[in-house]
């Protein structure tokens, strides 16, 4: 994925300005920055949920400008959201199966009943890959918070995305759940490119190959965790005031 001079305005508000970056396949990139810096807006653009006001987006050589949002997932881009986004009364397996069915039926409008079986098998495989097989029959609302976030990732994996966007995957988690999520992200990264928005600095610095810092919608820095930690401008606007950094 490469983005060139991306800008996004909401009325008079400039949420992103001139953001240029190139994401290497197979890397984990963290996007950090203060509240309101434009991180989720950037994710919304990368996942096709919003069209940029200016600039270009290319994925695997293709210009994404005219591509409708629902085609992003079929081209290999999937995401999870900052806020938990599952069907609370459906079982864990059903949540993933519904997603698998929706994905398949878009691929093949003649999908028949044997496809239901395939969707269920696929959903089971996705649950296994995020460590939730033992909870398959449980209504999603009874999962612990960390398991709900893992379930959302299982849903995103249904499309077998080459690029997976995770918006604050450890939001609201304690140290133990955070460790489990980090292990899951590391495992998933073996087969795909991952971009994540996070606030937990220690976690980001340990997990990421690369860190982008957004500040007031602009790219303040782009480098390895070591470079970002040593960047005095980043320390001044962000790291210095971030509790999680200590």
Which residues of this chain interact with ligand ATP, rule CB under 6 A?
A: 10, 13, 15, 33, 35-41, 82
CA distances from 246 to 183, 188, 236 (A): 22, 28, 14
Which C-beta is closer to Mg ion: that of 39 or that of 200?
A: 39
95 belongs to the binding site for Mg ion (CB under 5 A): no
Least distance (Å) between residue 90 CB and ligand ATP: 27
What's the rounded Cα separation, in Å, for the pair 22 and 158? 25
**Closest CB to ligand ATP among 3 and 126?**
3
| The entry of Mg ion, ligand ATP, none that residue 33 binds, CB within 5 to 8 Å by partner kind | ligand ATP
Report the nearest approach of Mg ion to the CB of residue 124 (Å).
32
CA geometry: angle at 147 spanning 145 and 153, to 5°?
Answer: 115
- Alpha-carbon distance 68 to 225, whole Å? 34
Instruction: Scan residues 33-52 and list those touching Mg ion (CB under 5 A).
Output: 39-40
Nearer to Mg ion, 29 or 40 (CB): 40
CB 19 → Mg ion: shortest distance, Å? 15
CA 116 to chain centre: 27
Q: Which is nearer to ligand ATP, 15 or 181 (CB)?
A: 15
If the CB atoms of residues 38 and 48 are measured against ligand ATP, the closer one turns out to be 38
> What gap in Å lies between CA 80 and CA 140, rounded to an integer?
16
Instruction: Provide the minimum distance between the beta carbon of 91 and Mg ion in the complex, in angstroms, as a whole number.
Output: 29
Write down the least CB distance from residue 50 to ligand ATP, Å. Answer: 8
- The owner of tokens 């606007």 is 237
Q: Which does 169 bind (CB under 5 to 8 A by kind): Mg ion, ligand ATP, none?
A: none
Question: Angle formed by the axes of helices 114-129 and 92-107, to 10°?
Answer: 120
Length of the chain, in residues: 246
Instruction: Name the strand (E) or helix (H) holding 239.
Output: none
Q: In the chain, what is the greatest distance between 2 CA atoms, to the nearest angstrom?
A: 59
Q: What are the residues binding Mg ion (CB under 5 A)?
A: 39-40
């Amino acid at each position: 994925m490469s983005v060139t001079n991306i800008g996004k305005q909401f009325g008079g508000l400039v949420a992103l300005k001139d953001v240029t970056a190139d994401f290497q396949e197979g890397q984990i990139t963290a996007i950090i920055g203060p509240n309101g810096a434009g991180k989720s807006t950037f994710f919304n653009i990368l996942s096709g949920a919003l069209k940029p006001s200016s600039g270009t987006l290319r994925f695997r050589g293709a210009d994404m400008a005219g591509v409708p949002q629902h085609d992003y997932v079929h081209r290999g881009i999937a995401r999870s959201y900052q806020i938990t986004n599952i069907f609370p009364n459906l079982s864990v397996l059903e949540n993933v199966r519904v997603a698998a069915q929706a994905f398949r039926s878009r691929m093949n409008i003649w999908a028949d009943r044997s496809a239901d079986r395939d969707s269920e098998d696929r959903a089971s495989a996705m649950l296994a890959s995020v460590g939730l097989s033992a909870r398959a029959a449980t209504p999603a609302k009874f999962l612990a918070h960390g398991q709900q976030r893992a379930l959302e990732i299982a849903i995103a994996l249904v499309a077998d995305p080459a690029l997976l966007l995770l918006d604050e995957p450890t939001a609201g988690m304690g140290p133990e759940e955070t460790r489990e999520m980090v292990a899951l992200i590391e495992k998933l990264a073996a087969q795909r490119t991952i971009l994540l928005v996070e606030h937990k600095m220690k976690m980001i610095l340990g997990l990421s190959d690369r860190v982008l810092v957004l500040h007031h919608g602009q790219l303040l820095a782009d480098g390895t965790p070591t470079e970002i930690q040593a960047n005095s401008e980043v320390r001044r606007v962000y790291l210095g005031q971030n509790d999680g950094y200590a």
